[in-house]
């Protein structure tokens, strides 16, 4: 099962993207990763299709 990532900075955009993906049958997970040594983060939407080979 392949998982895909979309980088998305704005919270409202992540919400909209997640709704679109869920309505089209994808499983969605939101997460963040630390960017460098500071307090900055990169935000992602991870998605995949359940049962996909």
The three-state DSSP-derived secondary structure of 3-51 is CEEEECCCHHHHHHHHHHHHHCCEEEEEEEEECCCCCCEEEEEEEEECC
* pLDDT band per the 50, 70, 90 thresholds, residue 19: very high
Q: Is the pTM of this model over 0.75?
A: yes
Note the pLDDT of residue 17.
97
Q: What is the DSSP letter of 2?
A: -
Cβ neighbourhood burial of 46 (10 Å; 0-12, 13-18, 19+)? middle
Domain boundaries, the chain: 4-49
Predicted local distance difference test score (pLDDT) of residue 53 = 53
Average pLDDT, the chain: 92
- pLDDT score of 52: 59
DSSP state for residue 53 in the 8-state scheme: -
């Amino acid at each position: 099962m392949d998982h895909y990532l979309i980088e998305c900075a704005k919270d409202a955009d992540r919400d909209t993207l997640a709704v679109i993906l869920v309505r089209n049958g994808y499983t969605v997970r939101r997460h963040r990763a630390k960017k460098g040594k500071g307090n900055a983060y990169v935000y992602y939407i991870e998605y995949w299709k359940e049962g996909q080979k």
